[in-house]
Amino acid sequence: MCGIVGCIGTEQAAPILLEGLSRLEYRGYDSAGVAVFDDQAGALSVHKAKGRLQVLSDQLHGGADLRGTVGVGHTRWATHGAPSDANSHPQVSHSGRIAVVHNGIIENYAELKAFLMGQGIPFTSETDTEVVAQLIEYFYEGDLLQAVGRVLHRIQGAYALGILCADYPDQIVAVRKDSPLILGCGQGCSFLSSDVTALLRHTRNVIYMEDGDLAVLTREGIQCYNHLMQPAEKEIVQVDWAVDAAEKGGYEHFMFKEIMEQPEALRRCLSPRIQKGEIVFEDFSLSEDYLQKMNRIYIVACGSSYHVGMVGKYHLERLTRIPVEVALGSEFRYMAPIVDKNTLVIVISQSGETLDTMAALREARRLGGHILSIVNVVGSSIARESDQVLYTWAGPEIAVATTKAYTTQLALLTLLALWLAKRLGTISDADYQAGVAGFLELPGKMDETLSHRDDIQYFASKYFNHDSIFFIGRNLDYALGLEGSLKLKEISYIHSEAYASGELKHGTISLIEEGTLVVALSTFSSLFAKAMSNVVEVKTRGASVLALTTQSHREEMAQTADAVMTIPDIHELLLPSLGVVPLQLFAYYVALMRGCDIDKPRNLAKSVTVE
């Protein structure tokens, strides 16, 4: 959602800003804009356009038209005011002196706007952001930092801000509260961005701003201040992501690239954590005392990360016999959750910035829970606010629809379940060893699953014209179906639902008619016979069945289902980790055949930083 970039150096800023914004396109947006300080005119030059970044870039000839070596840029995902040139950022104060780019929401903007309008200040947009630009100007008496400080005392909500002032042509002011902002420290140049991927081409030395931080970026370096406006020393962190990790590398879509990267991502995630047949979390542990008192586990997440939690619940309860609740980040704080100091709260997030998940984390912390997060983006807000973090090490995920983050989150949560069971003594040695052996096979078996992608492409070509698709499964296969269904609907725009197979006869079966496509998931061997009965049940009512099962059940399933996708046999714990791959590929190929914008599906954002 919304992306901010900023740079100050010796090179022309506009092409750098546009290139940086192109790296943030995946986050989701509907308009874009840049502001640079034009040193010959001695004023800010602001350009904005509704629609794709390319529209703006074409207008500015790739940025070549804009003079100046300092500027900020923005991709906007509309919240206050429809997508339009006027509502795009940067938002500028009435005199044109101050330009602001903003991610987040200013909650009390209406009240502040009414006040400013009462002072005769004209507004040109419907945005909450314009209030910030106008308010800085209102308080400005020649000292920019002082004016910004006064504004920060008055605005409420979430914000990452990049601020330019025509009277301060050699600096950019950055502010962060509840919305990510990262600073890049170059040689003779400084950068800001809401996402590290936009900085990688310029520098690997970054500062993760914390809530309440303010920073002044100059060519000579970056000075940070805390919420009391006192100078603050900040750690400079080296980012080790490869520059090309955030590029397509010859693939047509990021999503396909990321699907294909999964075996490698799993090797990165798992191999340091399995040593000589033992699970080893070098960066994480729980004391014997805590484990003995642990009375409940809560898993909190949104979207696909929530689906990981759904699988995790089955694994954790089966292996540890501790009650596990899975809650949506957006619901958690409104449901009076039962959390105390003996509750382990597992927070799952790829981006580490999802606002609802973050709010749930804070609520869980307030209630005294111990927070362990499973996160992909190093240094993200959720990672920083957790008591402990397990990183997935999946590398940058650019496609909006998550794939390799899902599989690494799931692998890590499953590994954690096995580790906890061992520590709690709720698993036999033989079962533990069998589980660990399964993990060692996982990346190779995922390679094998991916090598059958042509079969999935064929099934997609058979079924891509359906308007409504049902996913059914029991237990692990139900949790898997939730993810398969979400993947399909978000990128192909086909209506789809996932149901626990046993629920069909309680209502849903009335929707099954001649030709309805049902994706029947039956990878979980112990429930295969039950799954078969459900396949027969829907076939009898005219459904076409595309089944997913393991190699060893393929033949039997093929006697009833119309088409069968298969995965290699693997330890039961890891069936969903393999099973999701054909479902990702199916969604991908269906969306491809329907001509959808796969990496940037409509209305969606990669990192959901509003409630």
Q: Which of 303, 309, 312, 369 binds ligand F6R (CB under 6 A)?
A: 303
* C-alpha span between 206 and 202 (Å, rounded): 10
Query: C-beta of 160: minimal distance to ligand F6R in Å?
Result: 16
Site residues (CB under 6 A) for ligand F6R, limited to 308-337: none
Query: C-beta of 487: minimal distance to ligand F6R in Å?
Result: 6
Nearer to ligand F6R, 134 or 349 (CB): 349
* C-alpha span between 442 and 408 (Å, rounded): 11
The CA–CA distances, whole Å, from 83 to 31, 88, 89 equal 6, 7, 10
Query: C-beta of 605: minimal distance to ligand F6R in Å?
Result: 8
Query: C-beta of 349: minimal distance to ligand F6R in Å?
Result: 3
Q: Which residue, judged by CB position, is nearest to ligand F6R in the bound state? A: 303
Check if 2 is active-site.
Answer: yes
Q: Of 476, 392, 389, 421, which Cα lies nearest the Cα of 279?
A: 421
* C-alpha span between 75 and 199 (Å, rounded): 16
Q: Which of 88, 194, 304, 408 binds ligand F6R (CB under 6 A)?
A: 304
Amino acid at 193: S
Q: Is 173 in the site for ligand F6R (CB under 6 A)?
A: no
Query: C-beta of 303: minimal distance to ligand F6R in Å?
Result: 2
Task: Show the beta-strand stretches assigned E in 422-480.
Answer: 468-473
Amino acid at 23: R
Q: Is 70 in the site for ligand F6R (CB under 6 A)?
A: no
Q: Is 302 in the site for ligand F6R (CB under 6 A)?
A: yes
Q: Which of 19, 178, 363, 490 binds ligand F6R (CB under 6 A)?
A: 490
Query: Sheet of 388-391: strands edge to edge?
Result: 324-328, 296-301, 343-349, 370-375, 388-391
Q: Which of 354, 386, 496, 550 binds ligand F6R (CB under 6 A)?
A: 354
**Number of other residues whose CB lies within 10 A of the CB of residue 544:** 19
299 contact partners, CB below 8 Å, separation of at least 6: 309, 312, 313, 324, 325, 326, 327, 345, 346, 347, 348, 413
Q: Is 407 in the site for ligand F6R (CB under 6 A)?
A: no
The binding track of 448-487 with respect to ligand F6R, each residue x by CB under 6 A or -, is --------------------------------------x-
The CA–CA distances, whole Å, from 555 to 56, 487, 523, 544, 569 equal 55, 27, 13, 18, 14
* C-alpha span between 404 and 260 (Å, rounded): 9
Catalytic one among 2, 185, 269, 302? 2
Q: Which stretch binds ligand F6R (CB under 6 A): 3-11, 247-255, 291-299, 348-356?
A: 348-356
**Number of other residues whose CB lies within 10 A of the CB of residue 85:** 14
Nearer to ligand F6R, 168 or 298 (CB): 298
Q: Which of 57, 171, 330, 349 binds ligand F6R (CB under 6 A)?
A: 349
Q: Is 350 in the site for ligand F6R (CB under 6 A)?
A: yes
Q: Cα Rg for the chain, rounded, in angstroms? A: 26
Active-site amino acid positions: 2, 606
What does the binding site for ligand F6R look like in residue numbers (CB under 6 A)? 302-305, 349-351, 354, 357, 401-402, 486, 490, 607-608
